[in-house]
Chains A and B, each alone.
Chain A
Amino acid sequence: MADKEATVYIVDVGKSMGERRHGRSVTDLEWAMKYVWDRITATVATGRKTATIGVVALRSDETSNELREDTSFSKISVLRNLGQFLMADIRQLREAIKPSQTNKGDAVSSVVVAIQMINTYTKKLKYKRRIVLVTNGTGHMNNEGLDEIQRKIQDDGIELVVLGADFDDPEFGVKEEDKDLHKAENETLLQVLAEGCGGVFGTLEQAISELEIPRIKITKSMPSFKGFLSLGDASKYETALRIPVERYFRTYVAKPPSASSFALRSGGQEENEAGAGQSTSGGEALTTIRTSRTYQINDESAPGGKVDVERDDLAKGYEYGRTAVHISQTDENITTLETFAGMEIIGFVQMNKYDRYLHMSNTNVIIPQKANDKASLALSSLIHALWEQETYAVARLVAKEAKPPIIVLLAPSIEPDYECLIEIALPFAEDVRSYRFPPLDKVVTVSGKIVTEHRNLPTEDLQQAMNDYVDSMELDGEELPIDDSYSPLLHRIDTAVRYRAVYPNEPILEPSEQLTKFAHPDKELVREAKDSLEKLMSTANVKKVPPKTKGRKRLRETEKPLSGLDVDALLKQEPKRTKISAENAIPEFKQMLSRADSIEIIHDAVKQMTSIIETQIKHSLGDANYDRVVEGLGTMREELVDFEEPTLYNDYLAALKGKILGDELGGDRNELWWLIRKSKLGLIDQATSEVSKVTEDEAKEPPEPSGVIHRFRLEVCRIFS
């Protein structure tokens, strides 16, 4: 568990904070709040009840604090006592933080108020206590009793952070020219106050610039395995070796915050217009979603071919091929392999024979059992022996009883003050998919001849140009820049959520520079490598394929078999192939088109094909033929795009839609229409085919009010599917 926290932010809201200085577009207060909001929302985002926040306004119009009897505490208002900060508090604070009409109010006194607040709230309990004061240091400050205050801060274990607008900081490089003497005195006073009690004194500019650097959430790891690393079977052989070890994450992907689904509250539209943004920051009223599950089975006798079944008639089971295998409750774990926890070494492999791409998972560290020196020593001998011999161990790991075993690689890691094994999951036989690809350093022709000069192979010049370019783009530094690369999505969403919480009406921001630091190569490096890149580009002579020809009819040479035999000539001799037959429709349609020497023949082919498709629809029992229909339509669409006859398809599709929605093709076929839309077989637009008359937007436009289809589909699910 993370420590409990109590942080009081003291924000100077004096009249002078409302001014803009040194050419900044924001007032001092807005500038200061940028920092304060970031810190507050970061805490709110954790959702932790024990991370408490309080806010005090300094140089406020009003006076409201526990010590207000004493005039030295006037013009200090507690805006929010310590407690968990929620959205409502953010909204309230947003309203409350405004430059006041006064410049009165003592910063040192406000610190005392904050100490008092923390005291009252945390009592003597264990807390991380902190006071953050943000000011421009122009008000009046009283240095009486400074020692006592400092002692109190230290005794209570409070960390004091003082941040000031345009405070001088030689280290960071801020120096305010023509600084007001009074302000300079105040700066010195605050510096003495903060540093005298072990606190931090800094300039606001630095604090704000550091906001750009994403903050990493530190997660304390728990061991995912505690047991023995063993060699040999301890229960059978006296020579078995066992070292008690523990396993922790070394890497684990930090996930971006996840969104939950909500439904727009019914009538949300109107509320929306009324601007009832009371419950959410986005202005829409939301309600949570519940799910309910029903179960259905196929039943040919039922309308729609499916019937609902009761949950009580169902048993747990698995599919074996298309056979359902049920498993009775008593046998629930029957398919689970019996295993016992342990990490057992299978053997050793040489480092130079290991392919790095076999890494299948995140990585773990294996360290000796805590407080066990002998285990440390034993594991150390393994780590050093592996290291010296340039070897990895391969082991079988079962992290918990009855968990499936995995095979892991154990690699030695030796740093001056830390030794461990790095553990990574390796693939099993089933995890390897053998997709085959032709070699890249030679070309094997159909006849089996090996060719080393080919348009797909680099020439010597190209290889040389590539070598030079790669060498010129060498990155500096020993290590990969892992430490300063931040998960772009995680931090962008995190920032966006926090930003929206504070500024609900602002548009979302672009990702910060830190997040996209590695999106492009370093400019300097690119400049240095410019010449070799130009050389490479001219030697490579890569040509972009114009988008128009991409979907064009394939080259004729690929339509010949390996022998190069002219099958088209044979096809021409086949007398019967002027009529497309229903059982071999797709090949014959394609062949008819490819032989077509007039537009009439194309029209005829389409006409024949459409009548086959419609017959298939009419005779389809339920959805039995739908896949064939989609294949036929899809083929037609593809071919007509290639033949630049989109209108033929578009016209037909419109006609087909009419027939389907008009129930002319053997009853209710609306589900088919939905399937056609889903398969992206809509109108051919201009982006797909230049000669089309349909614009992209028109093609997107659902040919029917989408609600009808959509609702219908749900109906299908509900009633008979």
Chain B
Amino acid sequence: MADDSYARDEENFEEEEVDETSFRAVKDAVLFAIDVSSSMLEPRLSGDTKKPGQESPTSAALKCAYHLMQQRIISNPRDMIGVLLYGTESSKFYDEDGDRGSDVSYPHCHLFTDLDIPSAEEVKELRALAEDEEEAQKILIPSEERVSMANVLFCANQIFTSKAPNFLSRRLFIVTDDDNPHGDNKSLRSAATVRARDLYDLGVNIELFPISRPDHEFDTSKFYDDIIYKTSPSNGEAPAYLQPDTNTATAKGDGISLLNSLLSSINSRSVPRRSLFSNVPLEIGPNFKISVNGYLLLKRQEPARSCYVWLGGETPQIAKGITTLMADDTAQRVEKSEIRKAYKFGGEQVTFTPEELQALRHFGDPVIRVIGFKPLSALPIWANVKHPSFIYPSEEDYVGSTRVFSALQQKLLKDKKMALVWFIPRKNAAPVVAAMIAGEERIDENGVQKVPPGMWIIPLPFADDVRQNPESTLAVSPDPLTDAMREIIGQLQLPKGAYEPQKYPNPALQWHYRILQALALDEDHPGEPEDKTKPKYRQIDKVGSSEKDTSTSCTVILIDSQRAGDYVLAWSDQLDAAFDKMFGGTAATTSTLVKRGPKDSADSAGGPPAKRVKTEGGAGGIDEEVKRCYEKGTVSKLTVAVLKEFLTAQGRSSAGRKADLVDRVEQFFENK
């Protein structure tokens, strides 16, 4: 079909997770089923006296659902989420018109948020339920009568069937503390197992988030092992069965830690696993292949593109743009099959047939072929062009793949080696030479897997992709100066000396959606953005031995109690000394220290005026000068060069005409 060959065509050829074989839509629907019983509503006090608070399992679950909803609006804007409360006094489901209303076909099942891409209104409602107790009390009333699990499961079945038809991934998250809802009642139990089987056959995965009671450990063997299946049949890529997180189940006493471990557990399942490529042969040697699946575990999350909103009606609506292609000469519509690709060359076009174009892209079938091995240390830190792909073995094409993969992974880990591979991830994808390195499993403090075990494929640059180093002057630091810097570095280690991505949300992305949320819900402007990527300036200045400020997770840990700033001052003195020694103090001085009182601005006068623009500080000098002019109202008398230098030094844009620069400088001081 013409459509297909073009969909895969070069320019559209982007790294997207695609399912090449299935007729199903690559979308995910998550329905929370939250148990509302008196024990689930019982607040649990925090054990930590410093952070008093209480949390009932139900409210913790609702908070998680709210959190996930917000998160998915950002990360999976096309995916659906819903919240079904069960065991409630009230019942709510679709009525005959398909709208929701009181309904008794599923008694004590209250569909609070219908399964759909969430609307701003639904976000608000769920937040109110999760946070506002008064509101909550109206709905969160447990029923006297016991709810039938068969009914709950069939209710979920109907929601998935009608709201998320043909989705590749449909998941039911059950949050409960009741490990045996029907006791010995055989008929209720067997009705539930049959309904669970229906869900399995429908392709719905049940994921259980069990909560132990203070006096009772949750035991899945009592009931839930009859309900939950290893994999869903429609989803060949579904994870091999993973245990519910044990720590969640044991987090029984403390409400806050319950919330945290539940959050961590739900977060780790927030997105269904989707493969980037599947069953690609990993050719370890000639004629020795195993099969692996590839995943994108790291990918830059960007805000969704802006769109057009139609304002002509009562409610704003997204307008869908439709592009039509027309021939330039006849202005007639062009069908896709009539499109030819051509290269501009020598003022004309050089053309190939579609078959030839495809042949040009073809370098063989998808493969990860080992060329040889090398010590990991041979992989230079600069040799990188993009994010890596993660691979994990699959038994689908070659039985025994897992054990061979495991042996290779362990060998590479143990001996700190890497494999050099020829990598073609998909049909007609451009081949790359890549480094394949082993990755170790990492577990977080809640016992939840943070980084899976497997191997990573890091595409290497080709000679074409390596730029020449720009010219640079070399002035090698003498030992005393280096030592002074070492002191500073020694003071400012991140916790555990490692970078934890989880601790740094993307401030621009979060702000974008925070503002959208405020606009959508008609809320007040949220004021100051939260930005965890900003350095802890105060701590960098001084070590807070007496300060009780180390609670936030990403603070810098300062090792001794001296002011880190003192080390900076010591370094600066060394720098001046070394500079005088090496360059005789005749060249233009550049104070790398921002200001050190009046003393500093004096020593900047030395440089010849021509070079001043290039030195940062004329340092204190220029800042002072601009400030003086601002106070006198004579900023416009400064030269463009000075204005630009000042603005650049402040991290402000220095583009535009002089009037713009003056405006910006004045704005800078006004906002101070």
Q: How far is the CA of A260 from the CA of B342 in the complex (A)?
A: 5
Most interface-central of B221, B320, B390, B589 (chain A CB within 10 A): B320
> Is there an interface contact between B499 and A358, defined as CB atoms closer than 8 Å?
yes
| List of B residues within 8 angstroms of A420 by Cβ | 469, 472
> Is there an interface contact between A248 and B467, defined as CB atoms closer than 8 Å?
yes
> Is there an interface contact between A357 and B519, defined as CB atoms closer than 8 Å?
no
Shortest distance between the CB of B420 and any CB in chain A (Å): 6
Q: How far is the CA of A319 from the CA of B77 in the complex (A)?
A: 8
Shortest distance between the CB of B67 and any CB in chain A (Å): 13
Of B31-39, B171-179, B354-362, the one touching chain A: B354-362
| List of A residues within 8 angstroms of B578 by Cβ | 377
- Given A221-B470, A431-B298, A431-B506, residue A706 in contact with residue B2 (CB < 8 A): yes
| List of B residues within 8 angstroms of A252 by Cβ | 385, 465, 467
Q: How far is the CA of A634 from the CA of B404 in the complex (A)?
A: 35
> Is there an interface contact between B311 and A314, defined as CB atoms closer than 8 Å?
yes
> Is there an interface contact between A562 and B381, defined as CB atoms closer than 8 Å?
no
Asked if B641 lies at the interface with its beta carbon under 8 angstroms from chain A, I say: no
> Is there an interface contact between A570 and B482, defined as CB atoms closer than 8 Å?
no
Q: How far is the CA of A368 from the CA of B501 in the complex (A)?
A: 28
| List of A residues within 8 angstroms of B239 by Cβ | 435-437
Q: How far is the CA of A411 from the CA of B380 in the complex (A)?
A: 11
Asked if A181 lies at the interface with its beta carbon under 8 angstroms from chain B, I say: no
Which chain A residues in 322-357 approach chain B with CB under 8 Å? 322-327, 334-342, 344-350, 353-357
> Is there an interface contact between B327 and A265, defined as CB atoms closer than 8 Å?
yes
> Is there an interface contact between A244 and B298, defined as CB atoms closer than 8 Å?
no
- Per-position binary interface string of chain A over residues 407-443, scored 1 when its CB falls under 8 Å from any chain B CB and 0 otherwise: 1010101000111101011111111111111111100
Of B42-50, B55-63, B118-126, B129-137, the one touching chain A: B118-126
Of B140-148, B255-263, B643-651, the one touching chain A: B643-651
- Given A321-B120, A369-B616, residue A217 in contact with residue B464 (CB < 8 A): yes
Of A24-32, A135-143, A529-537, A690-698, the one touching chain B: A529-537
- Given A251-B382, A326-B309, A558-B231, residue A543 in contact with residue B319 (CB < 8 A): no
> Is there an interface contact between B360 and A492, defined as CB atoms closer than 8 Å?
yes
Which chain A residues in 492-541 approach chain B with CB under 8 Å? 492-493, 496-498, 500-501, 507-508, 511, 516, 518-522, 525-526, 529, 533, 536-537, 540-541
Residue of A nearest to B285 (CB): A533
Asked if A47 lies at the interface with its beta carbon under 8 angstroms from chain B, I say: yes
Question: Out of A232, A441, A471, which one reaches B453, CB within 8 Å?
Answer: A441
> Is there an interface contact between B325 and A291, defined as CB atoms closer than 8 Å?
yes
Q: Secondary structure at chain A's binding surface: helix, strand, loop or mixed?
A: mixed
Q: How far is the CA of A252 from the CA of B462 in the complex (A)?
A: 10
> Is there an interface contact between A228 and B327, defined as CB atoms closer than 8 Å?
no
Shortest distance between the CB of A130 and any CB in chain B (Å): 20
> Is there an interface contact between B73 and A293, defined as CB atoms closer than 8 Å?
no
Residue of B nearest to A544 (CB): B398
> Is there an interface contact between B328 and A628, defined as CB atoms closer than 8 Å?
no
- Given A87-B345, A482-B461, A518-B371, residue A526 in contact with residue B229 (CB < 8 A): no
Asked if A590 lies at the interface with its beta carbon under 8 angstroms from chain B, I say: yes
Residue of A nearest to B649 (CB): A228
Asked if B407 lies at the interface with its beta carbon under 8 angstroms from chain A, I say: yes
Shortest distance between the CB of A542 and any CB in chain B (Å): 4
Which chain B residues in 16-30 approach chain A with CB under 8 Å? 21-25
Asked if A125 lies at the interface with its beta carbon under 8 angstroms from chain B, I say: no
- Given A384-B482, A386-B489, residue A402 in contact with residue B378 (CB < 8 A): no
- Given A86-B346, A347-B494, A540-B403, residue A431 in contact with residue B501 (CB < 8 A): yes
Q: How far is the CA of A444 from the CA of B359 in the complex (A)?
A: 46
- Given A536-B285, A544-B398, residue A358 in contact with residue B161 (CB < 8 A): no
| List of A residues within 8 angstroms of B41 by Cβ | none
> Is there an interface contact between B464 and A254, defined as CB atoms closer than 8 Å?
yes
Asked if A212 lies at the interface with its beta carbon under 8 angstroms from chain B, I say: no
> Is there an interface contact between A500 and B352, defined as CB atoms closer than 8 Å?
yes
Question: Out of B384, B410, B462, B651, which one reaches A441, CB within 8 Å?
Answer: B410
Asked if B594 lies at the interface with its beta carbon under 8 angstroms from chain A, I say: yes
Of B84-92, B209-217, B533-541, B628-636, the one touching chain A: B533-541
Q: How far is the CA of A264 from the CA of B336 in the complex (A)?
A: 11
> Is there an interface contact between A90 and B346, defined as CB atoms closer than 8 Å?
yes
- Given A381-B571, A417-B474, A437-B454, residue A426 in contact with residue B499 (CB < 8 A): yes
> Is there an interface contact between B310 and A309, defined as CB atoms closer than 8 Å?
yes
> Is there an interface contact between B496 and A628, defined as CB atoms closer than 8 Å?
no
Which chain B residues in 558-608 approach chain A with CB under 8 Å? 563-566, 568-569, 571-572, 574-575, 578-579, 582-583, 587-597
Q: How far is the CA of A382 from the CA of B477 in the complex (A)?
A: 9
Q: How far is the CA of A403 from the CA of B597 in the complex (A)?
A: 32
> Is there an interface contact between A292 and B501, defined as CB atoms closer than 8 Å?
no
Residue of B nearest to A417 (CB): B474
> Is there an interface contact between B119 and A321, defined as CB atoms closer than 8 Å?
yes
Asked if A486 lies at the interface with its beta carbon under 8 angstroms from chain B, I say: yes
Question: Out of B123, B304, B401, which one reaches A319, CB within 8 Å?
Answer: B304
Of A108-116, A160-168, A672-680, the one touching chain B: A672-680
- Given A357-B437, A401-B653, A436-B269, residue A231 in contact with residue B488 (CB < 8 A): yes
Question: Out of B22, B73, B451, which one reaches A321, CB within 8 Å?
Answer: B73
- Per-position binary interface string of chain B over residues 513-531, scored 1 when its CB falls under 8 Å from any chain A CB and 0 otherwise: 1011101100000000101
> Is there an interface contact between A263 and B339, defined as CB atoms closer than 8 Å?
yes
Q: How far is the CA of A374 from the CA of B616 in the complex (A)?
A: 10
Asked if A71 lies at the interface with its beta carbon under 8 angstroms from chain B, I say: no
Asked if B8 lies at the interface with its beta carbon under 8 angstroms from chain A, I say: no
- Per-position binary interface string of chain A over residues 87-108, scored 1 when its CB falls under 8 Å from any chain B CB and 0 otherwise: 1111000000000000000000
> Is there an interface contact between A295 and B489, defined as CB atoms closer than 8 Å?
no
Shortest distance between the CB of A259 and any CB in chain B (Å): 4
Asked if A124 lies at the interface with its beta carbon under 8 angstroms from chain B, I say: no
Question: Out of B399, B403, B475, B566, which one reaches A457, CB within 8 Å?
Answer: B403
| List of A residues within 8 angstroms of B652 by Cβ | 340-341, 401
Question: Out of B396, B435, B587, which one reaches A550, CB within 8 Å?
Answer: B396
Question: Out of B372, B383, B456, which one reaches A482, CB within 8 Å?
Answer: B383
Residue of A nearest to B651 (CB): A340
> Is there an interface contact between A317 and B344, defined as CB atoms closer than 8 Å?
no
> Is there an interface contact between A337 and B512, defined as CB atoms closer than 8 Å?
yes
> Is there an interface contact between B360 and A363, defined as CB atoms closer than 8 Å?
no
Q: How far is the CA of A327 from the CA of B578 in the complex (A)?
A: 55
- Given A262-B342, A428-B509, A544-B398, residue A346 in contact with residue B494 (CB < 8 A): yes
Question: Out of B161, B430, B648, which one reaches A583, CB within 8 Å?
Answer: B161
| List of B residues within 8 angstroms of A635 by Cβ | 234
Most interface-central of A322, A491, A508 (chain B CB within 10 A): A322
Question: Out of A216, A404, A448, A484, which one reaches B243, CB within 8 Å?
Answer: A448
Which chain A residues in 245-302 approach chain B with CB under 8 Å? 246, 248-254, 256-266, 279-284, 286-298
Q: How far is the CA of A244 from the CA of B494 in the complex (A)?
A: 24
Asked if A371 lies at the interface with its beta carbon under 8 angstroms from chain B, I say: yes
Most interface-central of A265, A286, A426 (chain B CB within 10 A): A286
Shortest distance between the CB of A184 and any CB in chain B (Å): 39
| List of A residues within 8 angstroms of B203 by Cβ | 586
Q: How far is the CA of A20 from the CA of B531 in the complex (A)?
A: 74
| List of B residues within 8 angstroms of A456 by Cβ | 402-403, 406
Q: How far is the CA of A149 from the CA of B246 in the complex (A)?
A: 88
| List of A residues within 8 angstroms of B594 by Cβ | 234, 237-238, 240-242
Question: Out of B193, B339, B564, which one reaches A570, CB within 8 Å?
Answer: B193
Asked if B95 lies at the interface with its beta carbon under 8 angstroms from chain A, I say: no
Q: How far is the CA of A536 from the CA of B290 in the complex (A)?
A: 13
Shortest distance between the CB of B29 and any CB in chain A (Å): 12
Asked if B449 lies at the interface with its beta carbon under 8 angstroms from chain A, I say: yes
> Is there an interface contact between A543 and B467, defined as CB atoms closer than 8 Å?
no
> Is there an interface contact between B568 and A473, defined as CB atoms closer than 8 Å?
no
Asked if A548 lies at the interface with its beta carbon under 8 angstroms from chain B, I say: no
| List of A residues within 8 angstroms of B310 by Cβ | 295, 297, 309, 313-314
Q: What are 10 A-B interface contacts by the 8 Å CB criterion?
A: A231-B540, A238-B596, A242-B594, A341-B653, A424-B384, A440-B410, A482-B463, A486-B464, A487-B464, A586-B202
Closest 3 pairs between A and B when the two form their complex, measured CB to CB? A239-B565, A282-B351, A340-B651
